[in-house]
Amino acid sequence: MVKNKFKITNVSMMIKLTNILNEIFPKGAGRKISKALQQGVKPGDVFQDYYKKGVEIAIEKSMGKWRTVSFDLKTMSAHEVGVNNTLEKQKPMKLSSSDKMKIKKIVKDPQESHFINQGDSNMVKKLLRVLR
């Protein structure tokens, strides 16, 4: 009985939130924003790199932070493997198929794959799985 009340309040709270957003933003813009808030960051989402030179790919969430790999696609190299906890504040972008192929070539280079696998020996496998 308590579970049903909790679900109803969650739904009613979400309806109230969308009603408020619809009042603030005209023509359904509130719906788009509420959908974006619901989705959040998923493994495989791509963001612009901190240095604005390449892309950063979210691999997995660990201890509340996202493990990421950053690539510079112009120089064809991986230049940072680490943890990022600010991905929720950034806007995701989409990769073209040619960019995905470049990343796959970078990952298959032995020196680069060794650099990516420093902290986690399966990071290259996780990265290739997420890129699909």
Question: pLDDT digits over 78-88, tens only?
Answer: 888 888 888 88
Tokens of 28: 């359904």
pTM: 0.66
What is the rounded CA–CA span in Å between residue 128 and residue 130? Answer: 5
- Cβ contact 119:81 at 8 Å: yes
In the chain, what are the domain boundaries?
Answer: 2-39, 46-131
7: Cα within 13 Å, side-chain hemisphere: 4
pLDDT bracket for residue 6 (50, 70, 90): very low
**How remote is the C-alpha of 90 from its chain's centroid?**
9
Res 14 pLDDT > 80: no
What is the rounded CA–CA span in Å between residue 74 and residue 92? Answer: 20
In this predicted model, what pLDDT tens digit does every residue of 17-72 receive, in sequence order? 667 767 776 665 555 555 555 567 888 899 988 777 889 999 998 888 899 999 98
What is the predicted pLDDT for the residue at 36?
52
pLDDT bracket for residue 10 (50, 70, 90): low
Helices 29-39 and 2-24, axial angle in degrees (round to 10): 130
